[in-house]
Structure 1
Amino acid sequence: MAAALVGGAFLSATLQVLFDRLASREFVNFFRAQKHDDKLLRKLKLTLLGLNVVLDDAEYKQITNPAVKDWVDELKVAVYHADDLLDEIATEALRCKSEAKYHSGSDQEMAMQMSQLKGLQLLTAFVVGKSKGLGIEELKHLRHLQRRLSISSLQNVTNGMGAMEAKLEEKMYLEELVLEWSSSTNDSLNERDVLDKLKPHTNLKCLEIKNFGGTRFPNWLGDESFCNMVRLSLDNCEYCLSLPPFGQLPSLKDLKISRMQGITKVGREFYGDSSLSKPFQSLETLRFKEMLEWVDWYILESGEFSKLKELQVIKCPKLIGGLPKHIPSCVRLEIRECSRLLSQLSNICGAGTSELVLKGCDGVELGCRGLSSLTKLDILDMPNLKELTPQLCTLTNLKEFRPCLFGRTGLSFP
């Protein structure tokens, strides 16, 4: 009997807590923000009040009436579910509030103690703060995060141990991750240690790294264990002297590398261990952009880039040579503002190349032999070009041709 009365008293107290939470300003504001009808909220409050009134009587009757006891037991289950639901609503309300502040620019940092939102599943942006309760360790208990997460202001992470507290490697449901420094710390060793400890789960599909200030990337970047990685981007990692072995990533389809001024050569390390499998076996799009100090590209010529459909090399003014040869699946080739590049188109393009864009590349020879599949040809800003190749007339599938050769008053057609 005593146990039944204690259980009933607990249930009555829980109902009162639910009623108080429903009446709170935070809940009411969130409820209205979702454009729900206030009548529904009033009806729910009346229902809880009614239950509280009859509960006192039911607590005594359940001792002698099995049907009443069953009703009380069912009510307990419903109350527990309602409490869980209100927890989820409170979590969602705080998440919306934090993201609204971030996107509006009214707050440079996240809400304090995000770690309390242990059931959080969607957090698109996290700005690392300097104060306690705003650091990257607040991500520690958010094990259920899904889809995309962008972590910025990583310069505020003071050491690798702090970065490890984020426990990114345990967040198995994340698909996309952005890691961004907003300013340099002038401590390349520390930044490398931080990035090393920010190793994500191998389920990750997309990764972007921006403004990293280390001279070397950690070993996990490019490791073949990341077999689900399909898209990868490195931007403005200006002090790095070499690229990771991205050729080992078996599912990688899209790779973009831009503004990496420490790179003077793309060498063997870019491909990884080619004795195990063909490098870049799934890569379809490869982009190099604004690599101002890049001079040479080492090509293995062992079947790499076998599925590459699009190659872009843009604003690489010191690049001399070494573009891939005879890319069998290449559909689109774009070379812009690579003034020192020496190459022949017929050595790069495959039989299926349909679109070709050249701009500011006087060292590239326009031999069109083997390019009968071309449907679009743009030639821009090539003042030293005296005449178009005699093979141009063999491009019987050409539908768009835009010669725009600045610096010359005339152009000779053979």
Structure 2
Amino acid sequence: MDDLKTRLVRVNRNSTGNAIVVTTRSEQVASIMETSAYYRHPLNLLSEDECWSIMKERAFGNGETSISVDMEGIEKEIAKKCKGVPLAAKVLGGTMGGFKMDKEAWLSIMNGNVSNSSDNKDNVESILKLSFDHLPPLLKSCFAYCSIFPKDFYIVKEELVKLWMAEGFLVSSSQDEGNKYFNALLQNSFLQDVKRDECENSRWCKMHDLVHDLALSFTKSETLTLENCATEIVFDESWKLKRSRTLNLKGANIEEFPSSIGKLKHLRYLDVSWTKIEVLPESIIELYNLQTLKFLWCNSLKQVPRNKMCNLISLRHIEFSYDHHMPSMVGQLTCLETLPLFVVGSDRGGSIQELECLNQLRGSLRIKHLEVLRDKEEAMKSNLRGRTKIKALKFMWSDGRELNSNDEEVLAGLEPHPNIETIVITNYLGRKFPSWLLMKKIPSGGDSFVALDNLKELILWDYKILGGLTRLRDLIIGGFSEELDSFSYLKSIQDLPSLKFLVIHEDVGGRIKSLPDQLQCFTALTGLDTLNICDFNGMEALPEWLGNLSSLKSLGFWDCKNLKYLPSATAMQRLSKLTKLLFLVVPFFEKIEPKEVALSGPRFLISLI
């Protein structure tokens, strides 16, 4: 690796433009892509000690683990099987970790049949097969099922778990059990390249090509997959679907959904999102085994059996996009784990009290039309405090309302569980926020106290007060008035010691001509590393005090159409940690040469977009 770093530094110093690093296992691809054979860097195989180092980290984490005397030497013999290939080391390490310090299991791995071929691909494939053989039976089925996705495809974790559930691979049919299976495959390196959200939750993953080949080799012909199907799909007797558990028609070119769907008694997963269907047939309520129902962004969908969908007693996940698609009496679906949207009001959706019955809700929940609620007492009937698995909440009031609203009372009654990680509030007309949101310790059932210690992301629009959110990491604010007095609350931002990511939006059509001096309070945020300024279309020049944000690593300007002038070179040089400067939809900056910005900017600026 040191040799590779040296080559990359040399390329960077000798090049006047950009350099692209391409990785490949194919000699043919390397010969096509390279500009000079001098820059090709073939990676050497790892030593046995290096393989064991990878295996140990996968098996036991970063902590030091001593091996008992009677097991010494086994790990070295297993490391030899890797033949210096990192993927093989990761897979074997994950397998060993599943058995911890079980000597018999380690000996089984050591004595397992692994190819001794000179071809590294054959060796890796035999190691993958060996690790697969040590998986529990249900986990083998979950792994093999992943072959339905194309190679190099980002798999959505939540959808994968729902599909496993539909196929009966999860004993308890719960998201928690599916998460355990997912983590087990990740630990064994059968899944990799995990992408996480801002709260460090796993969201997407991939399979290595060789791992995908192994999964495909175990898959029987039980799945019908249509990709890039441009012609209209016609449902007729040729569809042998009566015993199907999963039907995914997302994005299919269909306008009519047959009423015969009710005959698919074994169906557990149905997705008709992004289709042109106009009617969701009433016969769908006969699918008593259905666990997942998705009809997202069905713009043409006009008829939904809202009043009868409460009969889907096995339903755990329902996803839709529009208010008029929300089922009535949703509180009767007591198994629900996923309900991204709840619409308040008898004429729109349901009573807020129905949420009290949904004890299994998890993930994110958006609650709309909160202006319908009368007071704090009615809002408290939602019992959001008891929904311990919900990680993200979005509270939405309708716009165009009068200022003398009861928003403060209602928000006070919508207190979430302390585990909440993200809160979004829109069109809130209250003059202050409740104690639970401001992190002030408040009594709870006697002498105990609660606080939102896990809150990492807060998005607010048109509000007045901040402060006390000691764990808050990401903040997006907007809805500013052209009156500078409306920025006075920004002074409380300096009481957000953990803030790293900040976005500010102007929302009055370009009438604010410059960044107000009140924003200088940002300089107190010593941990702030990303600042994005958006939609300030009336602003022509950036202020000198911007150079005082010395902790910034990334500074972005989005849709600031009249921005013409940077701060002085002296001010820009004070941004010593800045590595990324972004101008998106800023017409005047399209005419500026990158080197001109670099000369006036910090020494280590490496990215200008």
Query: TM-score if structure 1 supplies the norm length?
Result: 0.56
Q: String of CA shifts for 1:232-281, please: whole Å, max 9, x gaps.
A: 1123x3xx4x2322xx222211110122438734767445497xxxx332
Q: 2:577 aligned with 1:381, yes or no?
A: no
2:269, 2:499 → 1: CA distance?
A: 43
1:296, 1:91 → 2: CA distance?
A: 55
- 2:410 is matched with 194
Q: 2:527 aligned with 1:307, yes or no?
A: yes
Q: 2:266 aligned with 1:31, yes or no?
A: yes
Call closer, same or farther: CA 1:244–1:394 in 2, change over 3 Å: closer
2:409, 2:488 → 1: CA distance?
A: 24
Call closer, same or farther: CA 1:393–1:311 in 2, change over 3 Å: closer
SS at match of 2:524: coil
- 1:145 is matched with 361
After TM superposition, the structure 1 = structure 2 runs for residues 10-409 of structure 1, keeping only pairs within 5 Å, are 29=264, 31-34=266-269, 91-93=313-315, 96=317, 99=318, 102-103=320-321, 105=322, 108=324, 110-131=326-347, 134-223=350-439, 225-235=451-461, 237=462, 240=463, 242-245=464-467, 248-261=468-481, 264-265=484-485, 269-270=489-490, 272=492, 279-292=495-508, 296-298=516-518, 304-316=524-536, 326-335=548-557, 336-337=560-561, 344=568, 346-347=570-571, 350-357=575-582, 380-381=587-588, 392=599
RCO higher in structure (CA 8 A, sep ≥6):
1
How far apart are residue 34 of structure 1 and its match? 3.7
Call closer, same or farther: CA 1:234–1:30 in 2, change over 3 Å: farther
Call closer, same or farther: CA 1:249–1:118 in 2, change over 3 Å: same
1:300, 1:27 → 2: CA distance?
A: 62
2:598, 2:343 → 1: CA distance?
A: 56
How far apart are residue 176 of structure 1 and its match? 0.6
Q: String of CA shifts for 1:137-160, please: whole Å, max 9, x gaps.
A: 111232332221111122322333
Call closer, same or farther: CA 1:314–1:183 in 2, change over 3 Å: closer
SS at match of 1:203: coil
Call closer, same or farther: CA 1:204–1:401 in 2, change over 3 Å: closer
How far apart are residue 166 of structure 1 and its match? 0.9
Contact residue 562 and residue 588 of structure 2 kept, 8 A: no
Contact residue 109 and residue 129 of structure 1 kept, 8 A: no
2:600, 2:563 → 1: CA distance?
A: 27
How far apart are residue 208 of structure 1 and its match? 0.9
SS at match of 1:189: coil
1:302, 1:288 → 2: CA distance?
A: 11
Q: String of CA shifts for 1:179-202, please: whole Å, max 9, x gaps.
A: 112344425431222122212222
Aligned length: 290
Call closer, same or farther: CA 1:168–1:261 in 2, change over 3 Å: farther
1:26, 1:382 → 2: CA distance?
A: 56
Q: String of CA shifts for 1:152-175, please: whole Å, max 9, x gaps.
A: 122322333221211212222211
SS at match of 1:32: coil
1:264, 1:340 → 2: CA distance?
A: 22
Unpaired runs of 5+ in structure 2?
1-259, 271-310, 441-450
Q: String of CA shifts for 1:325-380, please: whole Å, max 9, x gaps.
A: 533331111243576999557547531101224689xxxxxxxxxxxxxxxxxx74
SS at match of 1:108: helix
SS at match of 1:311: strand
1:341, 1:223 → 2: CA distance?
A: 40
Unpaired runs of 5+ in structure 1?
1-24, 36-88, 361-378, 403-414
Call closer, same or farther: CA 1:398–1:232 in 2, change over 3 Å: closer
SS at match of 1:334: strand
Q: String of CA shifts for 1:300-329, please: whole Å, max 9, x gaps.
A: 769732121111122336779695653333
Q: String of CA shifts for 1:68-117, please: whole Å, max 9, x gaps.
A: xxxxxxxxxxxxxxxxxxxxx95442x55xx35x43x4x61633333334
Call closer, same or farther: CA 1:204–1:134 in 2, change over 3 Å: same
1:396, 1:321 → 2: CA distance?
A: 20
Call closer, same or farther: CA 1:150–1:273 in 2, change over 3 Å: closer
Specify the structure having the higher radius of gyration (Cα): 1
2:568, 2:602 → 1: CA distance?
A: 17
Call closer, same or farther: CA 1:27–1:132 in 2, change over 3 Å: same
How far apart are residue 177 of structure 1 and its match? 0.6
Contact residue 364 and residue 393 of structure 2 kept, 8 A: yes
Q: Which amino acid aligns with 1:290?
A: E
- 1:38 is matched with none
1:272, 1:400 → 2: CA distance?
A: 32
Percent of residue pairs identical? 21
Q: Which moved more, 1:131-140 or 1:248-257?
A: 131-140
1:161, 1:382 → 2: CA distance?
A: 53
2:263, 2:404 → 1: CA distance?
A: 48
